[in-house]
A and B are shown apart, each in its own frame.
Chain A
Amino acid sequence: MKTALQRIYLALIAIFLYAPIGVLMVLSFNESKSRNHWAGFTTKWYVSLFENKQIMEALYTTLILAFVSAAIAMVLGTAAAIAMEAMGKKLRTYTMGVTNIPMLNADIVTGISMMLLFIALGMRLSFGSVLIAHITFNIPYVILSVLPRLRNLNPSVYEAARDLGASPLQAFGKVILPDLAPGILSGFLLAFTMSLDDFVITHFTKGPGLDTLSTKIYTEVKKGIKPEMYALSTIMFVSVFVLLMLFNGISSRKSAGRAAGKAARSKKADRSETDR
């Protein structure tokens, strides 16, 4: 009885979170351009999407922006996280405080503050300004993904590598980096997604002539959204869903196999494995 209630509750929340996504998917197959009535099933929007130059351009801008900003944030953020592990308590608290600013600050304030800076510097509001803004709000996500990994690192492994003759760089590349990789990767994924979904900060830091999917949709709201947008979103959502399912399936099978093997060998828990 109790578990049945719990299941129902979980299902209701899942419906709440995914109902709008379902609506958009249905609309992408709607014959009519209107959002409000169903005129029959069609896949024509999935064809005309690829002929729509404006949407394709916005998609290209969005993906490049997300990739480049996440990649740069990944490098800066990982370096910062490693440095933070080495910091004393006080310096570390200050750095954490700075890291929290873009996360806790309102998007609208972040957006206008950067817009004011770019204009004060005489910079043209274009791809460059949006890229800087995205890197800025992406770095904290990388730092917060890498820090827990660093904390669970076994320091003796690095020292052992050094004892065995590895240079600091070799020891880092061959011992530390592989251990941090899952954290760095999930930081990158999170940053990429945040950049992709951002509207507010892009809205303030972009100039005329540059559009991401978000800003394009925003200008279309009043005129009516082109059904091609629903089709594009459905494609993106479904492909990421499939990718994540595959990725999750592989990694959970792997870790299940590893766990079984380990249990057979010894019952001692490995400190670095139990965390994730």
Chain B
Amino acid sequence: MKNKKNIWLSGPYLVWSAAFVIIPLLLVVYYGLTAKDGGFSLEYITAVTQPENWKALWLSVLLSLVSTVICLILSYPLAMILVRSRLSSGSMIIFLFILPMWMNFLLRTIAWQNLLEKNGVINSVLSWLHLPAVNIINTPGAIVLGMVYNFLPFMILPIYNALSKIDENLFHAARDLGANSVQTFVKITLPLTVPGIVSGITMVFIPAMTTFVISDLLGGAKILLIGNVIEQEFKQASNWHAGSGLSLVLMVFIVINMIVTSIADKDGEGALL
């Protein structure tokens, strides 16, 4: 099967990728670096420092960082429990990813409005338990919740995969040599799952940072993230140069992420799925 002739089979895919992945990105670079008259200009890149754009970018980074940390904290113990329960990864993918997606992503996010509202499901349960109500709908807190909800599976899966690849004998050896469970975790488990953690972080951080739908639906359309600003430039203002300029700023974050991923994924195994 390792026949060198097979390499040609990648031809259609590589042509496709060049046409529909690489060239489109170059167009974003072109529009971002030119003014409306077509001449070279940095004005749409530096536009990110305008107060309202800067505020949106900063808020996006902050909220997505918080969401990523929460996802990590929730996912690690979950992945450990799942690995020990010897669930096959196939059925886990189905219940984490595939099944929820058959209920539309927008509808699922809108359903959180019902859950979080002042007289919503969660508050009804809380008042029944005589606990204080939570009022986070239309606040950054609701946006963080929406991000964690939507992107949690992308953190769980790579950590789960990294954990399930660890040879059990390593744990026995560590325990035989006198390590307690905390030491075993810190010296064996954690270092071996770093690639999984890294790809989990990249898979959560970028979608969270660039979303415009979650902030639209759960932030009450008052809180603007950088994604909302870009979306409005394209869909409402039809200012492609301004939208592309801000997208180029986003691409800086994305490129950093890709580099980090490729370092974590040294063997080119594709640690993402």
Confirm or deny: B8 has a beta carbon within 8 angstroms of a beta carbon on chain A. Answer: yes
Q: Are B103 and A85 in contact (CB under 8 A)?
A: no
Bound together, the chains give a CA A24 to CA B103 distance in angstroms of 9
Q: Which of A9, A20, A83 contacts B108 (CB 8 A)?
A: A20
Q: A80-B13, A106-B207, A109-B251 are known contacts. Are A155 and B100 too (CB-CB below 8 A)?
A: no
Asked if residues A86 and B2 are in contact (CB atoms below 8 Å), the reply is yes
Which residue in chain A gives the minimum CB-CB distance to B30? A116
With both beta carbons as reference points, the residue of chain A lying nearest to B96 in the complex is identified as A17
Asked whether, in the complex, the Cβ of A77 is within 8 Å of the Cβ of B13, the reply is yes
Are A21 and B1 touching (Cβ within 8 A)?
no
Most buried by B among A79, A83, A230, A240: A83
Q: Which of B20-28, B50-58, B188-196 contacts A (4 or more CB under 8 A)?
A: B20-28
Nearest B residue to A222 via CB reads: B221
B20 touches A114 (CB 8 A): yes
Q: Are A109 and B102 in contact (CB under 8 A)?
A: no
Q: In the complex, A14 Cα to B88 Cα: how many Å?
A: 17
Q: How would you classify the secondary structure of chain A's contact residues: helix, strand, loop or mixed? A: helix
Minimal Cβ-Cβ distance residue in B for A95: B10
Residues of chain B within 8 A (CB-CB) of A103 are 272
B173 within 8 A of A: no
> Is B212 a contact of A108 with CB atoms below 8 Å?
yes
- CA A77 to CA B152, docked complex, whole Å: 27
Q: B78–A155 contact, CB under 8 A?
A: no
Q: Give the CA-CA distance A154 to B244 in the complex, in Å.
A: 48
Given A23-B115, A196-B101, A116-B28 contact (CB < 8 Å): yes
Whether B106 pairs with A136 at a CB distance below 8 angstroms is: no
Q: B94 near A150 (CB under 8 angstroms)? A: no
A23 and B7 within 8 A (CB): no
B207 / chain A contacts, CB cutoff of 8 Å: 106-107
Determine whether the beta carbon of A193 is less than 8 Å from that of B250: no
Do residues A193 and B98 form an inter-chain contact, with CB atoms below 8 A? yes
Interface size, B (range): 35 or more
Stretch from A40-48, A49-57, A211-219, A260-268 forming part of the interface with B = A211-219
CB distance from B273 to the nearest CB of A (A): 4
Say yes or no: is B74 at the interface (Cβ < 8 Å to chain A): yes
Contact A233-B107, Cβ < 8 Å, known A9-B78, A193-B101: yes
> A119-159 vs B: 1/0 string, CB under 8 Å?
01000000000001101100101011101001001010010
The interface size of chain A toward B, counting residues with CB under 8 Å, comes to 96
In whole angstroms, how far apart are the Cα atoms of A89 and B115 in the complex? 50
What separation, in Å, do the CA atoms of A16 and B272 have in the docked complex? 23
**Nearest CB to that of B221 among chain A residues?**
A222
Contact A13–B234 (Cβ < 8 Å): no
Tell me whether A244 is interfacial, beta carbon within 8 Å. Answer: yes
- Which chain A residues numbered 173 to 191 have a C-beta less than 8 Å away from chain B? 176, 186, 189-190
Asked if A100 contacts B270 (CB within 8 A), the reply is yes
B-side contacts of A133, CB under 8 Å: 20
Which residues of chain B come closer than 8 Å to A200, judged between CB atoms?
212-213
Tell me, yes or no, whether B59 is within 8 Å of chain A by CB. no
- Report Cα–Cα, A105/B130, bound state, in Å: 45
Contacts A/B (CB < 8 Å), 29 sampled: A6-B81, A16-B149, A17-B100, A19-B121, A20-B109, A20-B112, A21-B103, A23-B114, A23-B115, A24-B107, A27-B111, A35-B113, A79-B9, A79-B12, A86-B2, A92-B268, A103-B272, A104-B254, A106-B206, A106-B227, A106-B250, A114-B24, A117-B23, A132-B20, A145-B273, A150-B1, A158-B1, A217-B104, A252-B88
What are the nearest 6 A-B pairs in CB distance? A83-B10, A20-B111, A113-B24, A106-B210, A80-B13, A86-B6
